[in-house]
């Protein structure tokens, strides 16, 4: 690092700014497909019977993936949100059966990056099955783009909002059916992205997707949020057990 680079870095730190925060600056230079793509998806309060997993204030329901016991090092931002930092995190509780998971997130604006380096993170249901998070605004989405069930199914439509704008997943999941400890039917997933149906009862054809937690698909698993090296932000995550 040159003396000038060190000076600029120090100046940024002293002023309370960072490269990560700059990635949430206004996106005036981004061409929008429609005006509402730059409007935050309205946050959805947790139902009375739901378990609030993330409210941006405390971490008692989460631990670091690497050891399963240490508190996360993700940082609080924007009041009720947190930003990816320091590794994957998983819930202390595991979930099975039939449930609905609500996740609100936003991705940074990284116009000089491309592909999987552009606002990458992911939500892993039962720690095994990833619903991808990425800046895929305006793309012809594939199974590794935002909303894709990673390497399994691409979204029916690209429902992405622009980067820096709050979005939401509503994920309804049925765990695999098992008999005598062996899987007899795969898990099934429905996903709404910003209120738009993007997966309609898709069968999960793998026991684990890339970078997920290995283990017995016949057992419950945690919710996992991925650190892929980009400053993705999350807020208002809750889970509701169904029938």
Please tell me the predicted confidence (pLDDT) of residue 8: 37
Q: Are 132 and 148 in contact (CB under 8 A)?
A: yes
Residues paired with residue 51 on neighbouring β-strands, in sequence order: 239
For residue 168, pLDDT over 60 is answered with: yes
For residue 71, pLDDT over 80 is answered with: yes
Choose between 228 and 17: higher pLDDT.
228
pTM value is 0.91
Strand 129-133 and strand 121-125: the pairing is: antiparallel
For residue 242, pLDDT over 60 is answered with: yes
Confidence of residue 11 (pLDDT cuts 50, 70, 90): very low
Please tell me the predicted confidence (pLDDT) of residue 19: 54
pLDDT digits (tens, 9 = 90+) for 41-61: 999 999 999 999 999 988 999
CATH class of the domain whose range is 49-241: mainly beta
The domains of the chain are located at: 49-241
Confidence of residue 21 (pLDDT cuts 50, 70, 90): low
Distance CA 82, CA 75 (A): 5
Please choose, from the candidates 225, 224, 221, 235, the residue with its C-alpha nearest in 3D space to the C-alpha of residue 95. Answer: 221
For residue 2, pLDDT over 90 is answered with: no
Confidence of residue 243 (pLDDT cuts 50, 70, 90): confident
Please choose, from the candidates 162, 171, 173, the residue with its C-alpha nearest in 3D space to the C-alpha of residue 41. Answer: 162
Confidence of residue 22 (pLDDT cuts 50, 70, 90): low
Q: What is the mean pLDDT of residues 83-88?
A: 98
Please tell me the predicted confidence (pLDDT) of residue 1: 41
Please tell me the predicted confidence (pLDDT) of residue 78: 78
Distance CA 184, CA 222 (A): 21
For residue 25, pLDDT over 70 is answered with: yes
Please tell me the predicted confidence (pLDDT) of residue 20: 62
């Amino acid at each position: 690092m040159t003396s000038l680079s060190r000076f600029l870095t120090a100046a940024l730190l002293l002023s309370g700014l960072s490269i990560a925060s700059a990635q949430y600056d206004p996106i005036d230079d981004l061409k929008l497909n429609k005006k509402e793509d730059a409007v935050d998806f309205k946050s959805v309060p947790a139902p009375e019977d739901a378990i609030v997993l993330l409210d941006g204030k405390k971490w008692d329901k989460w631990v670091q993936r690497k050891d399963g016991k240490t508190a996360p090092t993700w940082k609080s931002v924007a009041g009720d949100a947190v930003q990816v930092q320091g590794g994957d995190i998983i819930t202390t509780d595991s979930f099975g059966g039939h449930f609905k998971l609500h996740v609100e997130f936003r991705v940074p604006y990284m116009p000089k990056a491309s592909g999987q380096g552009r606002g990458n993170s992911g939500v892993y249901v039962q720690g095994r099955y990833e619903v991808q998070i990425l800046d895929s605004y305006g793309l012809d989405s594939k199974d590794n783009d935002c909303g894709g069930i990673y390497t399994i199914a691409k979204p029916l439509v690209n429902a992405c909002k622009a980067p820096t704008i709050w979005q939401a997943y509503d994920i309804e999941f049925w765990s695999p059916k098992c008999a005598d400890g062996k899987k007899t039917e795969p898990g099934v997933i429905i996903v709404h992205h910003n209120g738009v149906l993007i997966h309609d009862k898709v069968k999960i054809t793998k026991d684990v997707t890339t970078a997920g937690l290995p283990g017995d698909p016949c057992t419950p698993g945690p919710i996992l949020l991925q650190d892929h090296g980009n400053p993705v932000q999350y807020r208002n995550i809750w889970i509701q057990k169904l029938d």
